[in-house]
């Protein structure tokens, strides 16, 4: 898909909140169900608490593991996330609305693998040559999350 078209579609979804939810609970239902199952399991074991940032509700980890993630419409962040991290994770929820069941394979799994690989490389003291957002699914998540507008 042409990157400009992809961004246009994402911006359209981000600017129409009703469409965002309709797509996430129809086309993107698989990711949304998985996200809610993760949410419920974390909630059962008291690992998360609800929190708000710029009028957006998200789930805050009770113990800050240093990671943030989103699956479907569920966003889980560290204890006190920076606004750009929260926006990035919200961008992944927009990707779920766009790509539906494909999001698992073209965004979530590659993102998790890449994040773990980068953490491992940094732990070994290696200097990474690329920025986190240099790959399309991370960079566009940041862009779309910022466009979603968190009330700033």
Q: Look at the chain and count its residues.
A: 152
- Give me the pLDDT at residue 53, please: 65
Q: Mean pLDDT in each 10-residue stretch from start to end of the chain (152 residues)?
A: 76 88 95 93 84 69 77 83 83 94 95 88 84 88 81 46
- Give me the pLDDT at residue 54, please: 60
pTM given for the model: 0.87
Q: Which of 80, 113, 94 is nearest to 32 (CA)?
A: 94
52: helix, strand or coil: strand
Task: Parse the chain into domains and list their residue ranges.
Answer: 3-148
- Give me the pLDDT at residue 3, please: 67
How wide is the angle at C-alpha 97 spanned by C-alphas 17 and 147, nearest 5°? 55
CA–CA distance, 53 with 77 (Å, rounded to integer): 11
- Specify whether the CB–CB gap between 147 and 90 falls below 8 A: no
2: helix, strand or coil: coil
């Amino acid at each position: 898909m042409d990157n400009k078209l992809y961004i246009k579609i994402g911006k359209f979804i981000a600017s129409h909140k009703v469409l965002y939810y309709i797509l996430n609970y129809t086309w993107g239902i698989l990711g949304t169900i998985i996200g809610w199952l993760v949410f419920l399991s974390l909630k059962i074991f008291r690992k998360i608490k609800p929190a708000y940032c710029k009028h957006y509700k998200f789930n805050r980890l009770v113990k800050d593991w240093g990671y943030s993630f989103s699956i479907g419409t569920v966003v889980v962040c560290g204890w006190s996330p920076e606004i750009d991290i929260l926006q990035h994770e919200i961008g992944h929820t927009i990707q779920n609305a766009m790509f539906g069941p494909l999001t698992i394979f073209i965004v979530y799994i590659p993102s998790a693998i890449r994040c773990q690989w980068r953490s491992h490389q940094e732990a070994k003291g290696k200097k990474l040559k690329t920025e986190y957002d240099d790959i399309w699914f991370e960079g566009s998540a940041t862009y779309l999350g910022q466009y979603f507008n968190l009330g700033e």
